[in-house]
Amino acid sequence: MIDEVILARLVDAARAARLQAYAPYSHFAVGAAVLDEFGRVHAGANVENAAYPEGLCAEACAIGHMVLAGGRRIDAVAVVGAGAEPCTPCGGCRQKLREFGADDLPVVVADPTGVRARHTLGELLPASFGPSHLEGAP
């Protein structure tokens, strides 16, 4: 179980990161923050591109920061967006989180004013394919 104070810190970091989003095309700013195995917080924001499919999601940006800092496990993640519906991670980001997180990984979804939803990665990406599936392959 991740401490609620730490989860609140994670949401704050994602909210601050969202303010740095580069989203001139969708105008939909997203911030994310991941907690690594050392208790460190790594944040990211979406970075769009004029060649639309080349845009980067906030979660991918946060994961990149974590890996560069030496983190190899995600113990919690927060995502912040401002739409009418809670900004749950997109399908691609669910798989990216799966690389470093377990089924019980807490995924906290918030907007600029407060927490909107809580899930586990296993709920968002059931029966997922992960690193262990590659073990023992010929």
Shortest separation between residue 138's beta carbon and ligand THU, angstroms: 35
37 is catalytic: no
Contact 79, 97 (CB under 8 A): no
Catalytic-role residue among 4, 54, 59, 135: 59
126 versus 138: smaller Cβ distance to ligand THU: 126
Q: Is 74 helix (H, G, I), strand (E, B) or coil?
A: strand
| Residues of this chain, 74-93, that bind ligand THU according to CB under 6 A | 89-90, 93
Shortest separation between residue 137's beta carbon and ligand THU, angstroms: 30
| Token reading at 50 | 């004029």
Task: Give CA–CA dist 41/65, Å, rounded.
Answer: 10
Total residues at interface with ligand THU (CB under 6 A): 13
What is the per-residue DSSP string for 19-60? TT-B-TTT----EEEEEETTS-EEEEE-B--SSGGG-B-HHH
70 versus 112: smaller Cβ distance to ligand THU: 112
Q: What is the DSSP letter of 7?
A: H
| Residues of this chain, 23-62, that bind ligand THU according to CB under 6 A | 23, 26, 28, 30, 46, 48, 55, 57-59
Contacts (Cβ under 8 Å, ≥6 apart) of 51: none
* Active-site residue set: 59
Footprint of ligand THU on this chain (CB under 6 A)?
23, 26, 28, 30, 46, 48, 55, 57-59, 89-90, 93
